[in-house]
Structure formats: structure tokens, C-alpha cells
């Protein structure tokens, strides 16, 4: 039914899962218990394909989902960074000249009786000219790198800017720091050196990489991201501790939404949702919105939503964590009733040892391992 093999997961310096192996068979109700921080919820999210492991693979209903290891991000070579600088100087000079012509901005003060050379033009720059050029440069780099991760030059050299530790596009502040730090006297020299990161990269904790690298891609060997999402919607149900019901929709609509997203017929999904809500004792509450339902009723709606696509397995992350003891016991009993009626499989993460003992099996986690 579902099997995890040698699952590892690390967040920064913290190793959360340390080679977990586990298997849940069809029709079982299995609980995972353990102290906070032991890795229970992380394991549940990985087994349900909501998160990815750093190593290992999972099998769900005969489908193997194996993730690629993290790819190493390699900085662009010095010659590409130098080409970016030279090309951007050309683009910026052209852009500054065109803007000045359109808005009649005086760039230099020259003697009208002589034919100016380049040195004469530079010598004729006023303070206003330097401020104007600085503004153009800062806006050019900041806006383009913030919105696209690239300047015009980086499109040509096929490079892009990313946050060094995260591999994502830098934010507005980081792009602004990169732009301003280009005015450092050493910046021009460092762009032509063999150093992998220039000064504006260092100060903004960013780097320029080859855009051909699909950095931090975590795709299944068997499924594309879109196929994995479709597989999840048809085979996996998830019950969250805090329901995550959409407040603007009724209970019936909340249950229907996963079915509609899976491409099923609207009326077919609605009839199935009504049947589930009636079976869960909520036939009279279908048109109520979440804020009109009690905590126990909201959780039952969440259970119905998890079941709407008839998944092969239902994951429940602390489903009774915010319920009183009576509602918690009732919800656990509901899982067993559903197992009996539909041969449903449940994997539950809980702190409640008493309720966990009602399960077919109890797995104990400690320090990222099943003990």
C-alpha cells in the first residue's frame, strides 16, 4: 500500500529524519507517536508527497516516487560575469542617452567652439549628470533583477541571479543592495577576476549562475510535477490538524473542491459529497460556512474532503489536537468505521497515546528514527 525506504530529511544543519523505513498495508489503521520535534509530521508530509526527502524513496499503491538528489549550484564563470558587465555598460549608456534626449536632460557642459572628444565629454559631466546616471543604473539593475532575476546582458549570456542559500530569485532589498554596491571602486576589477562571486553578490548574499542549471529541482523519476499533483489528488487524502477549510465556501463546497480540481463531473462530485456529509452526521449542516460550525464539525468536513476522491490512503496530522476528549475519541472511532465500510487505510500522527492504542499498530518515533 505505502512504503518508505531509507528516508532522510535535513533542514539547514538539523537532520530531522535519519534513514526511516516503514510500511503500511491496505486496510490498516497505523498511528505514529513521539515527542515534539521527533520528525513525525515531516515523515507524514513526505509519505503523502506534500514534501520531498533529501534521500530515499516511497511507494504508494504500486507507484514508486523517487526524487533526484539536490543539484550543486555552480557560479557562472568569470568571463560570463565580465561579459555581463560590458554588455550592461553598453545597454545602460544607450538607455541613459535615449532618456536624456526624450526629456531634454543636459548631460555635459562643453565649450561650443571646440569639437569634443570622449575625455572632454567626461570632463564636462556635472554633479547632476552623475546623479542621473547613478539613478538609471540603480533602477535598471534593481527592477530587472527583482522582477526577472536577469538583466538584458544576462539573457544574452544565459545567466541568472539567485539567493545563495535558497536558490530562489532575490527580493527587492537584495536587488537594491546589489545595484548600489556596484559603485564600489573594486567592483569593475572583481568582475574580471577568477573569483566566483563579485562584491555586489557578496553584500547581497546572492550569486550569478548558469541559467541552464535546473537548481533545486525535486521531481520524481517517474512523474512530472503536474503528474505528481494529479496522482496525489486521486490517491491520497490528507486531514490537517487545523482543518484549512476555505472560509468563503460552504461545507458542501469545501468537500467538493478537490473532486472538481481532479477533473470529475460537477454533479457527480456534489452527490458524493452530500453522501459523505450525511454519513458523517452533517446532512443538516451542508450549507453552513466553516465559522458557523463547531470544531468537531469542521474536522468532520475536513475528513469528508479527504475522502471525496476515494483515496487509497488517508494521512491525518494531529487530527484531534484541537478537539476535546469526547470529539477526539469520536473522530478516531470514525476512522475505524470508514476502514470497515470502505477498507480505507489510515496513517495518523498523534500525541495522544491513549487514542493511538486503538490503532492496529503504533510506531514510536524518537530523534528522527522509528524506535
Centroid of chain to Cα 46: 14
- Looking at per-residue pLDDT, the higher value among 66 and 230 belongs to 230
Q: Are 336 and 317 in contact (CB under 8 A)?
A: no
Query: Please, which pLDDT band fits residue 230 given cuts at 50, 70 and 90?
Result: confident
Q: Given this model, what pLDDT does residue 282 score?
A: 87
- Looking at per-residue pLDDT, the higher value among 171 and 199 belongs to 171
* pTM reported for the whole predicted model: 0.56
- Among 6-10, 20-24, 342-346, the range scoring the smallest mean pLDDT is 342-346
Nearest to 164 by CA among 209, 99, 131: 209
Q: Is the pLDDT assigned to residue 106 strictly greater than 50?
A: yes
Q: Given this model, what pLDDT does residue 40 score?
A: 87
Q: Is the pLDDT assigned to residue 247 strictly greater than 70?
A: yes
Nearest to 159 by CA among 216, 204, 215, 203: 215
Q: Are 48 and 232 in contact (CB under 8 A)?
A: yes
The Cα–Cα gap between 75 and 94 comes to 28
Q: Given this model, what pLDDT does residue 251 score?
A: 92
Query: Please, which pLDDT band fits residue 110 given cuts at 50, 70 and 90?
Result: low
Q: Are 322 and 302 in contact (CB under 8 A)?
A: no
Nearest to 208 by CA among 88, 68, 70, 96: 88
- Domains and their CATH numbers in the chain: 20-52+219-370 (3.40.50.300), 78-210 (no CATH)
- Looking at per-residue pLDDT, the higher value among 61 and 263 belongs to 263
> Which tens digit of pLDDT belongs to each residue from 336-361?
887 887 778 889 888 878 778 888 88
Query: Please, which pLDDT band fits residue 118 given cuts at 50, 70 and 90?
Result: low
Indicate the pairing of strand 14-24 with strand 345-349: unpaired
> Which tens digit of pLDDT belongs to each residue from 296-338?
888 889 888 988 888 888 888 887 776 777 777 877 888 888 7
Residues in the chain: 371
Q: Given this model, what pLDDT does residue 218 score?
A: 42
What is the phi/psi pair of residue 17, to 5°?
-120, 135
Helix (H, G, I), strand (E, B) or coil at 347: strand
- Looking at per-residue pLDDT, the higher value among 354 and 82 belongs to 82
- Among 43-52, 63-72, 181-190, 318-327, the range scoring the smallest mean pLDDT is 63-72
- Give me the chain's average pLDDT, please: 82
Q: Given this model, what pLDDT does residue 270 score?
A: 92
Best mean pLDDT range from 70-84, 115-129, 213-227, 282-296: 282-296
Q: Is 47 exposed, middle or buried (0-12, 13-18, 19+ CB in 10 A)?
A: buried
Q: List C-alpha distances in Å: 301 to 70, 143, 244, 304, 328.
A: 38, 45, 10, 5, 14
Average pLDDT of the segment spanning 196-206: 81
Q: Given this model, what pLDDT does residue 119 score?
A: 59
Q: List C-alpha distances in Å: 208 to 146, 197, 213, 285.
A: 13, 7, 11, 55
Q: Given this model, what pLDDT does residue 255 score?
A: 92
Helices and strands (H and E) in the chain: how many: 14, 12
Amino acid at each position: 500500500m505505502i512504503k518508505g525506504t531509507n528516508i532522510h530529511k535535513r533542514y539547514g544543519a538539523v537532520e530531522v529524519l535519519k534513514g526511516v523505513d516503514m510500511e503500511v498495508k491496505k486496510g490498516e489503521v497505523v498511528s505514529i507517536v513521539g515527542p515534539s520535534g521527533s520528525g513525525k509530521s515531516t515523515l507524514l508530509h513526505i509519505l503523502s508527497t506534500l514534501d520531498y526527502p533529501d534521500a530515499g524513496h516511497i511507494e504508494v499503491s504500486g507507484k514508486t516516487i523517487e526524487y533526484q538528489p539536490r543539484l550543486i549550484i555552480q557560479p557562472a564563470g568569470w568571463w560570463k560575469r565580465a561579459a555581463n558587465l560590458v554588455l550592461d555598460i553598453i545597454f545602460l549608456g544607450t538607455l541613459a542617452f535615449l532618456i536624456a534626449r526624450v526629456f531634454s536632460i543636459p548631460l555635459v557642459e562643453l565649450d561650443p567652439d571646440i569639437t569634443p572628444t570622449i575625455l572632454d565629454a567626461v570632463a564636462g559631466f556635472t554633479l547632476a549628470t552623475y546623479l542621473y546616471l547613478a539613478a538609471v543604473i540603480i533602477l535598471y539593475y534593481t527592477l530587472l533583477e527583482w522582477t526577472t532575476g536577469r538583466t538584458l546582458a544576462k539573457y544574452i549570456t544565459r545567466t541568472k541571479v539567485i539567493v545563495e542559500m535558497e536558490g530562489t530569485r532575490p527580493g527587492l532589498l537584495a536587488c537594491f543592495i546589489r545595484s548600489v554596491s556596484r559603485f564600489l571602486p573594486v567592483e569593475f576589477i572583481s568582475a574580471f577576476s577568477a573569483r566566483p562571486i563579485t562584491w555586489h553578490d557578496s553584500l547581497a548574499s546572492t550569486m550569478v549562475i548558469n541559467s541552464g542549471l535546473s537548481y533545486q529541482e525535486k521531481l520524481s523519476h517517474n512523474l512530472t510535477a503536474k503528474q505528481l499533483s494529479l496522482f496525489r489528488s486521486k490517491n491520497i487524502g490528507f486531514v490537517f490538524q487545523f482543518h484549512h477549510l476555505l472560509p468563503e465556501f460552504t461545507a458542501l463546497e469545501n468537500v467538493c473542491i478537490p473532486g472538481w480540481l481532479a477533473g470529475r463531473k460537477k454533479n457527480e462530485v456534489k452527490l458524493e459529497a452530500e453522501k459523505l456529509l450525511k454519513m458523517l452526521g452533517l446532512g443538516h449542516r451542508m450549507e453552513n460556512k466553516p465559522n458557523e460550525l463547531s470544531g468537531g464539525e469542521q474536522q468532520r468536513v475536513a475528513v469528508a474532503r479527504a475522502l471525496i476522491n476515494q483515496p487509497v490512503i488517508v494521512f491525518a496530522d494531529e487530527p484531534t489536537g484541537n478537539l476535546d476528549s469526547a470529539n477526539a475519541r469520536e473522530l478516531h472511532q470514525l476512522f475505524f468505521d470508514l476502514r470497515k465500510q470502505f477498507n480505507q487505510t489510515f496513517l495518523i500522527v498523534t500525541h495522544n497515546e491513549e487514542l493511538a492504542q486503538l490503532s492496529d499498530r503504533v510506531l514510536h518515533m524518537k530523534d528522527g528514527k522509528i524506535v
